[in-house]
Amino acid sequence: MDNQKRIGILTSGGDCPGLNAIIRAVVKCATKKGWLVYGIPYGTDGFVRLVKGISKPEEYLLSDRGYDIQGGIQGLDILQFLSGSILGSFKKRNLDLPGITQDIIEGYKQLQLDALIAIGGDGSMDIIYDLAKMGKWNLVMIPKTIDNDVAMTERSVGFDTARNTVTQALYDLTFTAASHERVIVVEVMGRDAGHLALHAGIAGGADCILIPEITPRLSENLIKKICTQISDLQRKGRNFALIAIAEGVKNMMGEKEKYIAERLADLIQEYSQKLPHSEEKFNTLDAVETRATTLGHLQRCGIPSSFDRILATVFGIKAVNLIEQGQYNRLVIWENGAVNSKSLENVIPLIKWCHQQDGCPSPVDPNGFMVETARSIGILLGD
């Protein structure tokens, strides 16, 4: 077939719900066009495996019927419902090791690919973009991350499901907090961005939400504000509270801490004992008891939400269509309620600059409508 293309697809960086739905969409769409799709296992490490003779090109070939369940329910297509990545992912690869970069480029050549679809967050994009330049690859990228911090796209695959997961956790924790009259501090992922904590905190009924864009670090003044908020709730007859804190918020020394929720819970309990309990607004705080919960990798698990499945599907189809049209070096994005694409020539410099500044490529807007929504319903944001 003269117009048959050979395209590769890989997942890189941390996993999230919706990766398999992207792979499914790409394979189904490309197969209808008569193309061959090669699934590169473990990110760019799959190219190295070819060069080292660990794997063979034919082992990477994907079929739109390659994941059917056999037996009485043969033909059942479950790929879009599975979290994780059937291709596996590779979080870190030391490209400075002798020969690694050349092995990756040579592996791409061995597959004789016409184009590569790379699914990743901003860290993966930075690395794969440079590899594509060196190897002269035709590249299309699809954003995925529960952090929702990829530049120039309103949504990344995985965020909506993680938001639902954290929202459910906050809802569930509310009842144990109420039963024991405790203040529960919940640590939420997001790296240097507060999107996940902010969205889920609003939906999950948090009384206080701390995100790095508004409260970059803990302080004594911030702890006092939180204690005041807790005391206000107690005077209204509510003897429990729920606090969501993004992992990107730093400690009082301005340093990142592995378990920042535990640090905050200890500070609240300790500080509440120091306040002047003779004052009416603080006279119940000597009864404050705190607990911390770190949700961890549960946030990257679970059945993808309907929105993430749809987003993954339209992103996958858009990537294939871009390849068909010869539009390479593009990032597939979600913009104003529709799928679109941006030139990586515009996206990557911004990402690289943010990495150099130790910043976030797409942070929460402190003056945006989501922040205003939280404030409008009385959620303490710490500023």
| 106 backbone φψ class: left, alpha, beta (φ>0; ψ -120 to 50) | alpha
Burial letters 101-120, b for 16+ CB under 10 A, else e? bebbbebbeebebbbbbbbb
Angle between helices 159-180 and 195-203 (to 10 degrees): 50
Q: Which residues pair with 241 in a beta bridge?
A: 183
Nearest 5°: the CA angle 94, 37, 128 is: 25
In the chain, alpha helices (H)? 19-32, 45-51, 100-110, 122-135, 159-180, 195-203, 220-235, 260-274, 306-324, 344-356, 369-376
| Helices then strands, each counted (H, E), the chain | 11, 11
User: Helix, strand, or coil here: 152?
Assistant: coil
147 catalytic, yes or no? yes
Catalytic residue among 45, 122, 147, 160: 147
The identity of residue 89, as a single letter, is: S
Catalytic sites, residue numbers: 147
